[in-house]
Amino acid sequence: MKKLIILFVVTLGLFGCEDNSSRDVLSSQLTNDNTKEIFELKQKAIVPILVMSKNKQFKQFVLNECLKQEHGEYNVYLSKIITEYKDNPSFSESILELAALATKIKFLNGGIEPLLFYPRAETIEESRLNQKSSATARLAEELVLVNQDDYDIGTNSSPGYVLTFDGELIFYDNITEDFAWENDVWVIGQEEEGVIMSSVGDEIISSQVFTSTPQSRFDGQPEYGGIIQVTDLGAVEPWVLGKLEFRIVILDSKGVVIKEKEFDKRKRSHFRNKKWYDYGYFVGNWNLPAIGNWTTEKWMEMDGGKSSSVTFKVPASGPGGIPFDVTIPSKEKDDDLGLSMIQFTEPMDQVYNLTHINIKRKHQ
């Protein structure tokens, strides 16, 4: 990690001094109108967390908990940290402060758990798997902390903060995804409400073998989908939110939903550098009399929230027909990634362009 040479000292009351005119605060991740207050409480919570992070055992505890992925992510709830250290006299002042702030955040946020997300835990885990070893990871002396709600979509970065030797909070740098996955950066955030917590199969590397022979379809052919390439990872899911949770909806030529799946969480390394990922999802046997000459495939990235719906147009079922609207249930924070018509007569290696993603089909 680079040394601190010249930094601008700020206090909690002066965070607003940074020019945020181009910064997109992830207020959409919050569930109510308490956005500003919740944001400020998280900023205040940065201080006791950074104070405790000066202790190597505490940093190791956070890493170990994040590697467990109890909630499908590399995170640990603040409540677990508080429970673990509430009786430790070395942390009494910081824990009391953190507990009070965490209680307020959770209350104002409709009961959603505040947490610490540790991006580098994914890098550490993958390194151990590749080396077939459980060697202890080297943790940096200085730790940077980021507020999940303060994220600039244009630069895919968030301001990071550290403590001086005198205990003052100072701006360190704008933290990018690449930096966070290779250095000790923690993100204070909250759980995604109503999003699937499972990450079953996340450790399996996709074979990325999508060749289908023959290239043409035949009536009754078994069809597989769930093959996706993310072309803009930050646009689909900001790095401060962690793993990706995709949903696929497939409709027949009459606009009837025939298959639907909320996929388990997947770590970001599966999608970096525009790699293709194959969920191995069985769409069904393409029987022309039942399904028709085309299907419509829609994708969403799930971020949870209150119940909502999304409406989109699908092609008419017959020649000269008028496209019509279809409405499906969703959550208010879910990201709509678009849809594509997939025709029976198209080659199996056809790539379909949606919003920030590409998709494919295959048969076996």
Query: Cβ(156)–Cβ(176) under 8 Å?
Result: yes
How many whole angstroms separate alpha carbon 173 and alpha carbon 161? 7
Per-residue pLDDT tens digits for 87-146 = 999 999 999 999 999 999 999 999 999 999 999 999 999 888 777 555 555 655 689 999
How do beta strands 144-147 and 185-190 pair? parallel
For residue 177, give both structure tokens.
Answer: 């995804």
How many whole angstroms separate alpha carbon 3 and alpha carbon 171? 13
How many whole angstroms separate alpha carbon 359 and alpha carbon 341? 11
- What is the reported pLDDT for 78? 98
- Chain-centroid distance of CA 233 in Å reads 10
- What is the reported pLDDT for 193? 80
For residue 167, give both structure tokens.
Answer: 């205990």
10 conformational bin, left if phi > 0, alpha if psi -120 to 50, beta if neither: beta
- E-state strands within the chain: 24-25, 75-77, 114-117, 144-147, 150-151, 157-163, 169-176, 185-190, 221-230, 246-251, 257-262, 276-286, 294-301, 307-314, 324-331, 335-343, 352-353, 357-362
Per-residue pLDDT tens digits for 24-70 = 545 444 445 789 999 999 999 999 999 999 999 999 999 999 999 99
| Most trustworthy range by pLDDT among 17-21, 168-172, 191-195 | 168-172
Apex CA 85: angle with CA 83 and CA 91, to 5°?
Answer: 140
Per-residue pLDDT tens digits for 172-231 = 999 999 999 999 999 999 998 877 777 777 777 665 555 566 789 999 999 999 999 999
